[in-house]
């Protein structure tokens, strides 16, 4: 039994750093020199052009102050009885531009440089793990010294520089984002190389229909300083693209489909593990793609964020950039429909996946015997250490009923599970998987723009698992309307049903019982009915739909199939097991 018959890969902030660090220069303070009790902050406020007349405010470890930028973006702010470090905010005269920066230095410095630019806005987001405006308004002065250090600023710049480099924006000419030499462009003068980088960033944001605010938010959420991806409590899970993906060109009919490399997991019964994952390159604007073997294909829009490939695949895309494809791997006269799951390729460490995870999947039940292998819905919960060792596993599988609760579950004392890095931005999935092993399961990881992780894993026998970090269920909001695509797989990994499109509206919520009701119907049919769902059932993080019959709004009756649901938080995607009809369902929220 594997806990994650494949987890993986992740977004690399490709750590190619710009040179430079965070501190201002200083000269030694000799013996007998009285300590300096005030500080002066200087710098440029710019976004690729000077921000004139900006209101600059500083909050420091002690003291604070304000200033106004000149026509060239220069400012000078003195805190007569203050001490470093500081966090700064600059607000343009029209209030439309708000930027942030930080300052750190040594006692005795005559002044400390702190540029306030689009680059420092991203740096502060990564440094603090928060949206900079929220950090500035809520930070306690006493905590600044622990957060704003030269080494932390340097690490944050390295991460941001890597993200921007993946989009073709080389920031190395800027030196330090905070203290580098900056000449901002004005109506009468051209800026320097730092300013040119700000121009390039602004141009890329415009060309990709992305805002600096949106980019900043994802940088904060996916930062190592953010608690969003590690919290075990319930919170809002908004599906969104990560920063590096946001900066790529988008498809004209789907802002969630961006150009770049995509990891695909495509389970089948071939018995050849290498056939079950691939790396494709997608050109979102041209709607073309290149498979790992060099063959090419095209995509044709079939509605917002839905496409048909030249090979006849039906492809849907979630708001977080996760693709689910139903494609014919047989012939026109004898079709064999299979399902693949794709997401932007990322690089992650084993340590990033530490924590307790829930999963849901289809795994073999009668041993691998080629095309006759049958698969059963499974669920598991387990905890990974920072070195990839798994413990406290609960594994649930019932080949007869497809149940995943109660007596269907066991607690193996020596589960064949664990994670080690593989050379292709993924992981080997298994406790005894030396490098180069071709029989171990493979796992790939994806971190969405809100900081949440999803993993998708596959074994040599075709069994696969989807997983998310365990969190308590969040109750929905009454009145919320959601439209979804439902993609189904049966117990032989074949998809015999076309993709359904369904819509539901939340009707009532019971916070005591942790349950809710919703009306649901299949688009194109007259089967609108009410159904009940139970949160944190059968275990924390899973949801259950109560089965039975329901009366439709037109007076008919429908069978409500019970299911166990595991939402892939932040992905706009859920995995479901429908035990009574032996189906596995991937439910994708329409953007």
Name the pairing type of β-strands 112-113 and 39-46: parallel
pLDDT given at position 22: 34
Distance CA 28, CA 35 (A): 12
What's the rounded mean pLDDT across residues 161-171? Answer: 94
Weakest-pLDDT range from 3-12, 291-300, 477-486: 3-12
Looking only at Cα atoms, what is the longest distance across the chain? 92
For residue 108, the model assigns a pLDDT of 66
The two tokens of residue 205 are 């944001």
Residue 461 has a pLDDT of 84
- CB-CB contact of 64 with 85 (8 Å): no
**Confidence at residue 427, expressed as pLDDT on a 0 to 100 scale:** 87
pLDDT at 106 over 80: no
CA nearest neighbour of 60 among 132, 163, 145: 145
Q: What secondary structure letter does DSSP report for 370?
A: G
How high is the pLDDT of residue 23? Answer: 35
pLDDT at 35: 42
Please count the CA atoms within 13 angstroms of the CA of 438 that sit on its side-chain side: 5
pLDDT at 269: 86
Q: Residue 343 — pLDDT band, cuts 50, 70, 90? A: very high
Q: Can you read off the two tokens belonging to residue 398?
A: 């019932």
Average pLDDT of 149-173?
A: 95
The torsion angles phi and psi of 138, rounded to 5 degrees, stand at -115, -10
- Average pLDDT score over residue span 518-535: 96
> For the residues 26-48, what does the mean pLDDT come to?
66
**Spatial separation of the C-alpha atoms in residues 83 and 165, rounded to whole Å:** 35
Contacts of 340 (CB under 8 A, 6+ apart): 264, 265, 266, 323, 324, 325, 327
Share of the chain above pLDDT 70, in %: 88
Q: Is 161 helix (H, G, I), strand (E, B) or coil?
A: helix
Give the model's confidence band at 188: pLDDT under 50 very low, under 70 low, under 90 confident, else very high. confident
pLDDT at 238: 82
User: What pLDDT shows up at residue 434?
Assistant: 56
Rg (CA), the chain: 26
Tell me the average pLDDT of the chain.
88
Tens-digit pLDDT profile for residues 49-85: 999 999 999 999 999 999 999 999 999 999 988 899 9
Q: Which of 240, 254, 340, 260 is nearest to 302 (CA)?
A: 254
Q: Name the pairing type of β-strands 441-447 and 557-560.
A: unpaired
Give residue-wise pLDDT tens across range 108-127: 677 899 999 999 999 999 99
Could you list the beta-strand ranges (E) of 540-582: 542-545, 548-551, 557-560, 563-568, 573-578
Q: Measure the CA–CA gap between 39 and 88, rounded to whole angstroms.
A: 14
Q: Which of these ranges, 175-189, 196-210, 223-237, 286-300, has the smallest mean pLDDT? A: 223-237
Per-residue DSSP letter, 418: B
Q: Are 533 and 544 in contact (CB under 8 A)?
A: yes
Task: Give the pLDDT score at 375.
Answer: 93
**Lowest-confidence region among 157-166, 416-425, 457-466, 527-536:** 416-425
Can you give the pLDDT at residue 418? 76
DSSP H or E run through 584: strand 583-589
Q: Is 225 left (phi over 0), alpha (psi -120 to 50) or beta?
A: alpha
| pLDDT of res. 219 | 96
Going by C-alpha positions, the residue among 324, 319, 358, 258 that lies closest to residue 482 is: 319
Upstream peptide bond of 85 is cis (omega within 30 degrees of 0): yes
Tell me which of 78 and 436 has the higher pLDDT: 78
Rounded to whole angstroms, how far apart are CA atoms 544 and 433? 35
d(CA 283, CA 252): 12
Residue 368: half-sphere exposure toward Cβ, Cα within 13 Å: 14
Which candidate, 566, 567, 573, places its Cα nearest to that of 589? 573
Share of the chain above pLDDT 90, in %: 76
Which among 103, 100, 45 is positioned nearest to 70, based on CA atoms?
A: 45
Across 33-37, 171-175, 349-353, least confident range: 33-37
* SS3 of 163-214: HHHCCCCCCHHHCCCCCCCCCCCECCECCCHHHHHHHHHHHHHHHCCCCHHH
Q: Is residue 13 very low, low, confident or very high in pLDDT (cuts 50, 70, 90)? A: very low
């Amino acid at each position: 039994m594997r806990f994650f018959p494949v987890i993986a890969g992740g977004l690399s902030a490709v750590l190619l750093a710009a040179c430079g660090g965070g501190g201002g220069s200083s000269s030694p303070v000799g013996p007998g020199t009285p300590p300096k009790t005030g500080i002066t902050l200087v710098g440029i406020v710019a976004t690729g052009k000077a921000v004139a007349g900006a209101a600059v405010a500083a909050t420091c470890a002690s003291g604070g102050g304000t200033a106004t930028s000149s026509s060239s973006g220069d400012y000078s702010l003195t805190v007569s009885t203050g001490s470093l470090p500081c966090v700064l905010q600059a607000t343009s005269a029209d209030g439309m531009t708000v930027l942030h920066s930080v300052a750190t230095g040594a006692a005795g410095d005559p002044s400390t440089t702190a540029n306030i630019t689009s680059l420092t806005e991203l740096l502060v987001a990564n440094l603090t793990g928060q949206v900079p405006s929220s950090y500035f308004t809520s930070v306690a002065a006493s905590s600044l010294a622990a957060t704003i250090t030269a080494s932390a600023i340097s690490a944050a710049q390295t991460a941001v520089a890597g993200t921007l480099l993946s989009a073709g924006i080389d920031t190395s000419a800027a030196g330090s984002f905070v203290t580098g030499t900056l000449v901002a462009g004005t109506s009468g003068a051209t800026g320097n190389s730092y300013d040119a980088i700000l121009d390039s960033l602004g141009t890329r944001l415009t060309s990709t229909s992305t805002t600096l605010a949106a980019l900043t938010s994802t940088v904060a959420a996916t930062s190592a300083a953010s608690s969003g991806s590690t919290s075990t409590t319930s919170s809002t899970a908004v599906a969104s693209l990560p920063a590096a993906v946001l900066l790529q060109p988008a498809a004209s009919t789907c802002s969630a489909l961006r150009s770049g490399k995509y990891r695909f997991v495509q389970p089948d019964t071939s018995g050849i593990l290498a056939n079950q994952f691939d790396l494709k390159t997608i050109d979102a604007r041209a709607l073309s793609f290149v498979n790992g073997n060099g063959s090419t294909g095209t995509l044709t829009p079939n509605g917002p964020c839905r496409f048909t490939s030249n090979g006849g695949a039906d492809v849907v895309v979630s708001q977080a950039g996760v693709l689910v494809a139903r494609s014919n791997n047989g012939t026109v006269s004898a079709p064999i429909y299979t399902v693949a799951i794709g997401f932007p390729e990322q690089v992650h460490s084993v340590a990033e996946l530490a924590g307790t995870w829930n999963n849901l999947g289809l795994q073999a039940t009668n041993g691998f015997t080629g095309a006759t292998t049958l698969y059963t819905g499974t669920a598991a919960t387990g905890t990974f250490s920072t070195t990839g060792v798994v413990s406290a596993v609960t594994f649930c599988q019932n080949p007869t009923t497809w149940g995943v609760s109660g007596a269907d579950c066991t607690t193996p004392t020596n589960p064949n599970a664990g994670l080690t890095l593989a050379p292709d931005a993924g992981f080997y999935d298994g406790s005894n998987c030396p490098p180069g092993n071709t029989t171990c399961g493979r796992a790939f990881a994806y971190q969405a723009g809100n900081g949440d992780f999803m993993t998708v894993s596959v074994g040599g026998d075709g069994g696969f698992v989807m997983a998310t970090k365990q969190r308590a269920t969040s109750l929905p909001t009454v009145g919320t309307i959601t439209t979804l695509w439902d993609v189904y797989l049966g117990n032989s990994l074949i998809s015999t049903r076309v993709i359904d499109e369904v819509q539901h509206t939340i009707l009532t919520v019971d916070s005591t019982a942790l349950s809710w009701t919703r009306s649901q119907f299949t688009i194109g049919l007259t089967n609108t009915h009410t159904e009940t769902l139970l949160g944190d059932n059968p275990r924390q993080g899973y949801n259950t739909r109560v089965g039975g019959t329901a009366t439709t709004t037109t007076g008919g009756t429908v069978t409500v199939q019970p299911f166990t649901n595991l939402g892939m938080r932040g992905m706009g995607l859920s995995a479901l097991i429908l035990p009574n009809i032996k189906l596995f369902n991937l439910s994708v929220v329409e953007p």
